[in-house]
């Protein structure tokens, strides 16, 4: 089975040059990101570009270059090493808030600091421990679907995918149930900021979640708690980390789990509805769902770019010299559609032989810690949804718009009609 009914938005059969290749992240990019990335991969695989937040970065788009950079020790993550690179950032923007709020975390630290942070959380996200969560994830999925109307349009992203990812992460980390709505409000505002431009509301919501985490850390510092919040707080404080560093490690962990997983569930549901043969395959044979998730991670994953890197010294990539101190972005999405790596790379193919050969979660030391959990949530959410609602369909003929951000690939909303459910 080789579905070929690719949507015009996700298919990049022809590359598209942005209006200004030096500042490519405008309307053309947000309308057809894969087409723009394909143009860079073909014509400027190592390109210096301007970002919307005022920074300049070198963007890598070819699979070989991306994989090399992901494992290159000369590509470092510590923002403290090159403060001049961030000097032009508008710290009053939402992007500035996110960077300053993240502070020291898994994505902005190098060994041995990164190893210390990683060791405190990695055990919670192993494949074995993640699979132990399957019954609870299934309960949350069932409860969310039970509350949704079946005969009228509903935003599947805002009412299902995002609440699922927030609920699972909050439970896993140890956030009290009474505070879950605050974290859900933050993620919903993040997703919708392009539409309502409520920057003040987003900033207030972000600071509210930061304040809650600060309170949790203070509470666990004074009394033992058997949850991930308690484990991370105890471990990092014993190793000399400040409470601020503990909070930012947890903040980054939560936000990364919230946004990317919810966005990917939305991408996969939309993709299956665009590819009826693939939808029929996973509905009729649930055993194929795991491989389908891997192909969708390659084809339409939620991370367009990997975490920020800096060239610690002059580095030559693809014949281009990247000066020391430069900001470097690796495009995971572009690498995953590189025809030099994948045959007919712009086609969704559940029979693809190298179906797990993508870099959707990065690779090496900074590979996504929550990859196993993201896979589990997506399998349970999408599998339950398509089996329970065989008449699931997009609710309108309106173009489904992507979020206007450079790093994350996700929809602003996903209006669907579920249709009458069947008993499982």
CATH number at 27-417: 1.10.630.10
**pLDDT value of residue 42:** 96
**pLDDT value of residue 331:** 97
363 band by pLDDT with thresholds 50, 70 and 90 = confident
**Does residue 308 contact residue 107 with C-beta atoms inside 8 Å?**
yes
* Structure-block tokens of residue 143: 């409860």
13 band by pLDDT with thresholds 50, 70 and 90 = low
What's the rounded Cα separation, in Å, for the pair 377 and 166? 11
86 band by pLDDT with thresholds 50, 70 and 90 = low
Calculate the alpha carbon distances from 369 to 7, 67, 86, 362 in Å: 31, 18, 26, 10
What's the rounded Cα separation, in Å, for the pair 205 and 189? 8
Q: What number is the average pLDDT over the span 374-391?
A: 97
Ramachandran region, residue 394 (left: φ > 0; alpha: ψ -120 to 50; beta: rest): beta
**pLDDT value of residue 238:** 84
**pLDDT value of residue 77:** 81
* Structure-block tokens of residue 307: 């975490």
93 band by pLDDT with thresholds 50, 70 and 90 = low
pLDDT at 3 over 50: no
What's the rounded Cα separation, in Å, for the pair 412 and 188? 10
**pLDDT value of residue 96:** 47
**pLDDT value of residue 396:** 81
**pLDDT value of residue 246:** 84
What does the mean pLDDT of the chain come to? 86
- CB-based contacts of 240: which residues, under 8 Å, 6+ apart? none
**pLDDT value of residue 10:** 45
* Burial zone of 69 (CB within 10 Å; 0-12 exposed, 13-18 middle, 19+ buried): buried
The total number of residues written for the chain in this structure: 424
pLDDT, tens digit (0-9, with 9 covering 90-100), for 307-322: 888 999 999 999 999 9
Task: Answer yes or no: pTM beyond 0.85.
Answer: yes
* Structure-block tokens of residue 129: 């421990």
* DSSP code string of 17-53: --S-TTS--SHHHHH-HHHHHHHHHHH-SEEEEE-TT
Grouping H, G, I as helix, E, B as strand and the rest as coil, residue 322 is strand
What's the rounded Cα separation, in Å, for the pair 237 and 220? 11
Q: Of 22-31, 105-114, 220-229, which range is least confident?
A: 105-114
**pLDDT value of residue 87:** 66
Q: What number is the average pLDDT over the span 208-233?
A: 88
Vertex 379 angle, CA 377 and 384, to 5°? 100
Ramachandran region, residue 246 (left: φ > 0; alpha: ψ -120 to 50; beta: rest): alpha
User: Which one-letter DSSP state was computed for residue 331?
Assistant: B
89 band by pLDDT with thresholds 50, 70 and 90 = low
pLDDT, tens digit (0-9, with 9 covering 90-100), for 39-72: 999 999 999 999 887 789 999 999 999 999 999 9
Closest Cα to residue 144, out of 362, 384, 411? 384
9 band by pLDDT with thresholds 50, 70 and 90 = very low
240 band by pLDDT with thresholds 50, 70 and 90 = confident
What's the rounded Cα separation, in Å, for the pair 53 and 88? 9
**Does residue 394 contact residue 129 with C-beta atoms inside 8 Å?**
no
* 386 against 103, higher pLDDT: 386
């Amino acid at each position: 089975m080789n579905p070929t009914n690719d949507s015009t938005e996700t298919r990049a059969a022809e590359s598209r040059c942005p209006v200004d290749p030096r500042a490519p992240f405008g309307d053309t990019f947000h309308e057809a990101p894969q087409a723009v990335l394909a143009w860079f991969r073909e014509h400027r695989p190592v390109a210096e570009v301007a970002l919307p937040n005022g920074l300049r970065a070198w963007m890598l788009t070819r699979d070989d270059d991306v994989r090399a950079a992901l494992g290159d020790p000369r590509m470092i993550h510590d923002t403290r090493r090159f403060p001049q690179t961030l000097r032009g950032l508008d710290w009053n923007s939402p992007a500035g808030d996110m960077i300053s709020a993240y502070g020291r975390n898994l994505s902005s630290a190098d060994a041995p600091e990164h190893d210390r942070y990683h060791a405190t959380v990695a055990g919670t996200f192993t494949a074995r421990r993640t699979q132990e969560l399957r019954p609870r994830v299934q309960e949350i999925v069932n409860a969310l679907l039970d509350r949704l109307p079946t005969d009228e349009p509903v935003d599947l992203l805002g009412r299902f995918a995002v609440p699922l990812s927030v609920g699972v992460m909050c439970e896993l980390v140890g956030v009290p149930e009474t505070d879950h709505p605050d974290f859900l409000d933050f993620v919903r505002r993040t997703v919708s900021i392009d539409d309502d431009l409520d920057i003040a509301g987003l900033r207030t919501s972000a600071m509210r979640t930061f304040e809650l985490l600060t309170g949790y850390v203070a509470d666990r510092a004074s009394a033992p708690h058997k949850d991930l919040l308690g484990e991370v707080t105890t471990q990092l404080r014993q190793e000399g980390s400040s409470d601020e560093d503990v909070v930012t490690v947890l903040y980054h962990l939560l936000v990364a789990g919230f946004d990317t997983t919810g966005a990917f569930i939305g991408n996969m549901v939309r993709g299956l509805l665009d590819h009826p043969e693939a939808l029929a395959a996973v509905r009729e044979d649930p055993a194929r769902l795991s491989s389908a998730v891997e192909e969708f991670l390659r084809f339409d994953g939620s991370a367009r770019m990997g975490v920020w890197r800096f060239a610690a010294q002059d580095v030559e990539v693809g014949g281009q010299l990247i000066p020391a101190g430069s900001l470097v972005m690796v495009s995971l999405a572009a690498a995953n559609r590189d025809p030099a790596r994948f045959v007919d790379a712009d086609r969704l193919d559940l029979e693809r032989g190298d179906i797990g050969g993508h870099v959707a979660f990065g690779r090496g030391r900074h590979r996504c810690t929550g990859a196993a959990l993201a896979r589990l949530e997506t399998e349970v959410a999408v599998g339950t949804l398509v089996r329970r609602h065989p008449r699931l369909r997009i609710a309108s003929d309106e173009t489904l718009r992507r979020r206007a951000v450079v790093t994350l690939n996700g929809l602003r909303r996903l209006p669907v009609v579920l249709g009458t459910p069947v008993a499982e």
